[in-house]
Structure 1
């Protein structure tokens, strides 16, 4: 499988530096989640990993190759990205959208094949979009639309999938559906999945590896239980919180402090906090 990493990477827009002198290696075959405050550079970093943003200095390396030296088609064969809020042409059906994932594999000598058809059908099945394949993308609900776009990225058949806030604007049910799907892809097919997420608790539940970004650098990275601490949340998000153990999954659970309606805390909860 291809290894995705950066070497002395500096990113920015005009004279503004967003990420500076970053050396980073994405764990292969795992789910990695970028977390951090708005504007810290998570999405900028993700775009650069996919060769959508040219570095000011340094390199992104894909399987040891400098991404900037590879053709667009070659990158698309090895890495798929789902940007935030993608828009499909009006009237495009789900099937037509998913088929676009096979375009990097087409050429004058290699046209549409039975193998392409098989991969598209597998992507539709994996995302539970088979019955909606003839519907126009713009007629779908938010969760259905997101699954259609994920099906397209699956059809690219890449080792690495990058997703920028794939749960944004989705209700709780559809958020879990999307993250469960990505978790299964990682578990069953060993795909490397890299995401930007805002919800720390969902990040802890689904990620093997979390990277917290602050002040143009990686503030901390590692397993959720190593990264998600009250100190990290305070330093990165400027928010006080308690960190306890999720009673269902055993992962860190962030309880923010605030001025919401308070009720008396039972003894079990007090004990959970004292042990965290």
Structure 2
């Protein structure tokens, strides 16, 4: 199974530096979640790990090779990337979309094979999209569409999956559905999963390893129960909260201090004191 590492990595756009001299190693065979405030560089880091963004300096190393020196198809056979809000060509069916995942294995000398067909069928089955195979992707619900895109990444047959905010624009039920699917792929198939999430509670519930970004670098990383704290939430998200144990999963659960609710509670307490 491949290892994925960033060494002295600096990323940015034009004169703007987003990530500065960052070192990080993605644990293989685990679920890693990138968290942090808006604009902290989560998606930028993920894009660089997948070779969609060229570093200003430093290196991304995949299986002991600098990915900048690897061929595109070689990288695509080792890592699959699902960007945020991918655009599907109009009229494309689920089956046609999932088949795109086999592109790295195609060439003028090697056409569609039985192995390709098996990979596509297995991806459809793993994502529970078999009954949707002939449906147009743009006719699907948000959750169905996301499962179809994940099926495409699975069809690539890679050990590592990179996903940028896979639950964006989904309601709570579909968010859990997608995260359950990714968790099962990790547990049952041993795939390394790296994803960006905004919800710190969902990140804590599903991640084996969390990387919190702040000030262009890694603020903290480790198991959720080891690093998620009131201090981290204050420093990284600039928000006061309580951190308690999730009663169902035993993982850290962040309870924000909302100013409006606190003011209402304070007013009610004052009224109660005056009438008592």
Residues 192-238 of structure 1: CA distance to partner in whole angstroms, max 9, x if unpaired?
00000000000000000000000001000000011110000000000
Q: Give me the TM-score of the superposition, normalised by structure 1.
A: 0.94
Whole-angstrom distance in 1 between the partners of 2:114 and 2:149:
22
Local SS of the residue matching 2:6 = strand
CA deviation vs aligned residue, 1:103-136 (integer Å, no higher than 9, x gap): 1011222211111111101100111111110011
TM-score under structure 2 length normalisation: 0.94
**Equivalent position SS for 2:221:** strand
**2:60 paired with 1:88:** no
Which residue number in structure 1 is paired with residue 165 of structure 2?
165
Counterparts of 1:128-207 in structure 2, within 5 Å, are 128-207=128-207
- Counterpart CA distance in 2 for 1:159 and 1:105 is 15
Query: 1:259, CA displacement in angstroms?
Result: 3.0
Mapped contact 1:46–1:162 kept (Cα < 8 A): yes
Does the CA-based 8 Å contact 1:212-1:227 persist in structure 2? no
Residue 250 of structure 1, CA deviation: 0.2
How many residue pairs are counted as aligned between the two chains?
265
Corresponding position: 1:30 with 2:30: yes
CA RMSD of aligned residues (A): 1.4
Kindly provide the CA deviation profile for residues 119-178 of structure 1, in whole angstroms up to 9, marking residues without a partner as x. Answer: 101100111111110011111110000000000000001010000000000001100000
Task: Work out the CA distance in 2 between the residues paired with 1:230 and 1:211.
Answer: 16
Structure with larger Rg: 2
Offset of 1:261 from its aligned partner?
4.2
Alpha-carbon shift at residue 260 of structure 1 (Å): 4.5
